Chain A
Amino acid sequence: MDIRELQGYATFFMTIVFVLVLYWYIVYLYRSEKKGEKDYEKLGNIALDDEIDSKPINSSNPISNDKKERNK
């Protein structure tokens, strides 16, 4: 098998793999939301509720954030 043929097979299989990964990702996004594990859409509110003193939509570290609040 010469290099050109190898490239051809590699391109074909990579295309299949990437298409599968993409569709898997779409299914993963919707399924995890349906199961209640994730709520992606609420994260859109990060742009709207963006005051420095407003409660984080998805807080990074609840414990240290509480400390920050207390230190204020």
Chain B
Amino acid sequence: MQSNAALEYDYTIAKLYTYTAILFGFVGMLIGTLIAAQLAFPDLNYLLGEYGTFSRLRPLHTNVVIYGFTVSGIFATFYYSAQRVLKVSMAESKFIMFVGKLQFFLYLIAATAMVITELMGYTQSKEYAQMEWPLDLLIVVIWVLWGVAMFALIGIRREKALYISMWYFIACFLGVAMLYLFNNMAVPTYFTSGGVGSIMHSVSMYSGTNDALVQWWWGHNAVAFVFTVPIVGMIYYFLPKESGQSVYSYKLSLLSFWGLMFVYLWAGSHHLLWSTVPDWMQTMGSIFSVVLILPSWGSAINMLLTMKGEWNQLTENPLIKFMVLASTFYMLSTLEGPIQAIKSVNAIAHFTDWIPGHVHDGVLGWVAFMIMAALFHMAPRMFKREIYSKKLIEAQFWLQTTAVVLYFTSMWIAGITQGMMWRAVDEYGNLMYSFIDTVTVLHPYYAIRALAGVLFVTGFVMFAYNMIKTMTSSRELSEEPQFKSPMA
């Protein structure tokens, strides 16, 4: 470690990931909006030949928003907040700085290759695990480098106690590492077919129901350890810091954390209700999903109570608005998920549009809101300039909130309608509707969802513009703000 009189936090890596979060956020949400429009207006499938079809673009959308936008947001906020809660600068260790830069460089290569290969049609055909084996291997290296940087920073820390956010980042690292390795065990078809298959196309090492179980052990925990755990870590740092209010109950955060860790890993089989998975395992998935309400709400309520006595900030500071609403959407989403995991409800909800509706009140209202608020909070500290426009943030907030509400309400109605129509039978037990009947009925809701996409992506462009102007031409700050982020 170097001794340096004017030691400062080094945000080089956090800035790099901020840029990629903005870039991938825009690309991923734009593709999402296009495929939402394709479901309402199928002719839009034929804009770009094979590269523009729903089937090609849908995995690209999920992968870009998860591994491009969200993971960039996680790394950006980690490299920003970990230094601060550990009270140690990345500039103090050339090794950590090197690891951080190497990790970003490899991440950029992997993310770009992911976009290109998936657009070309290379896929393992496993949800949220579409990337083929060469990319899987590269991601393992990136993830290990993140772990090295994380534990090296922890190793040289000045603050003995690890703050709540750090537990969640560590959990994200460990959880994804374990699940990713198991789910991506695959063999190129070239080797399994005596040279007839492709070296670039692989098949899972598991088969049938086992494959489905491992897949959804991963699939659901991608939601757990990418969309939930690190985002909870973010809110535990950014909401107290932005509001100047210490977390309401540290003890509650301990209980919520361990509760989440014990329960989440067992809930994945709720994706396989009414399938060939053993019945006891389905029941276990349902029960653990319902139990999950407790630790999830523990964190969310802890965050809302952190604002106790300071609710005036909700009207004065748009970043608090984003974070409080994010926490509220987290509560909504973590109540809705367990309801869908109850077997009888799932009989109607499974395979319907209620599922993407549930996913999106989580990812738009919780994940994206929290990441954008965190990046806004970081911007004045990283670039030493005030946020370019408060009015623009306010407008963005209302536009995107409207978008989320339109998205999930339309999908609730569409999903339940769909589920009821699929199972409706007449007095003789014959199905009353054909598939196309449901498509016709659902058209208006699909159109509303596409509109919601347009509104949300417009809000994201406003966010990107505000961030870029903050980086380049906003008023310079003479000193770092302590709590509330300054904005013009």
Contacts and interface: CB of A to CB of B under 8 A. Distances in A.
Interface residues of B, number: 38
A72 B5 contact: yes
B87 A52 contact: yes
A47 B246 contact: yes
A60 B158 contact: yes
A54 B5 contact: no
Interface in B205-262: 236-237, 240-241, 244, 246-247, 249-251, 254-255, 258-259, 262
A47 B165 contact: yes
A53 B161 contact: no
Nearest to A50: B84
Interface string A48-63: 1011111011111100
Contact of B251 (A41, A45, A57): A41
A45 B255 CA distance: 18
B255 A26 contact: yes
Interface in A12-67: 18, 22, 25-26, 29-30, 33, 40-41, 43-48, 50-54, 56-61, 65
Given A54-B87, A68-B3, A47 B237 contact: yes
A47 B236 CA distance: 8
B85 interface: yes
A22 B164 CA distance: 19
Interface residues of A, number: 31
B89 A50 contact: no
B78 to A, nearest CB: 14
Contacts, number: 87
Contacts of A26: 255
B250 A44 contact: yes
Given A44-B240, A44-B250, A48-B246, A56 B85 contact: no
A29 B251 CA distance: 7
B6 to A, nearest CB: 9
Nearest to B241: A47
B87 A58 contact: no
Contacts of A46: 85, 159, 161, 163
Contacts of A57: 159, 161
A56 B8 contact: no
6 contacts: A25-B255, A40-B250, A47-B241, A48-B244, A50-B84, A52-B9
Given A26-B255, A29-B251, A43-B161, 19 more contacts: A7-B280, A22-B259, A30-B251, A40-B251, A44-B246, A50-B85, A50-B87, A52-B84, A56-B87, A56-B160, A58-B160, A60-B159, A60-B160, A68-B1, A68-B3, A68-B158, A71-B3, A72-B4, A72-B7
Closest 3 CB pairs of A and B: A60-B160, A44-B246, A50-B84
